[in-house]
Copies of this chain bind each other. A is one copy, B any other.
Amino acid sequence: MPRVAEDRPAAEPQSPGQKARYRRILAAAARLGAERGLEHVQMQDVAREAAVAIATLYRYFPSKTHLFTAIMADQVDHMDDPSPRIAAAEDPVDAVAETLLRSTRHMLRTPLLSSAIMQSNYAAHTATVSEAAAIEARVHRTVLTLLGLEHPTDRDNRLVRLLMKSWHGVLVSVIYGHTTAAEAETEIRLACAVLLGGRSGAPAR
């Protein structure tokens, strides 16, 4: 677990050149994280692999926590990418389940990177790095949109938060090998069915 010495605000890339360097950094960190895991990734190695100056790296990512939290944010940005399977789901709850399962399978393809991301997200959460809250809000909105809930009640929002917490717990279990991928999928589907079955306007079961 990386230490977060200070929640220094990260710079945002502006020019095309800056944006290209920013993307190269994320890609390099993801590659190294997938190979080595969080503990064995050094900021110097990321800078070298991305071919940027170390000062550039630190300007955008004041810590490893910021860096791997940004990789998570990037993955979350792709959560609602269109897919035939999700589009074909007849029940909105199935659409949510398929979306969470697609992300879960994606994460399980690079377990060391996913572990790095989860550890950083946990550290960011406990250090109130603002990006962690933004990621949570983004996933929350994605689920509400899939459910077609334009005007969620307080209870709906709570159910979605409980689903996110359940999903997060299942991810930790499967990434650290405490449960199988098949069991994780069953639990995620069950969490969607039971928790979202309690939302406003849900058809009676």
Query: Measuring CB to CB, which residues of chain A are less than 8 angstroms from any residue of chain B?
Result: 1, 115, 119, 122-123, 125-126, 128, 133, 155, 158-159, 161-162, 164-166, 168-170, 172-173, 176-178, 186-187, 190-191, 194-195, 197-198
Checking B123, B162, B197 against A190 with a beta-carbon cut-off of 8 angstroms, the contacting residue is: B162
| Residue among A155, A166, A195 with the highest chain B CB neighbour number at 10 A | A166
Q: How many copies does the complex hold?
A: 2
| Residue among A119, A162, A178 with the highest chain B CB neighbour number at 10 A | A162
Given known contacts A177-B128, A195-B194, A198-B194, is B165 in contact with A169 (CB within 8 Å)? yes
- Tell me the nearest residue of chain B to A196, going by C-beta: B194
A138 to B: closest C-beta gap in Å: 15
- Please list the 3 inter-chain residue pairs (A to B) with the smallest Cβ-Cβ separation, ordered nearest first: A165-B169, A1-B1, A194-B198
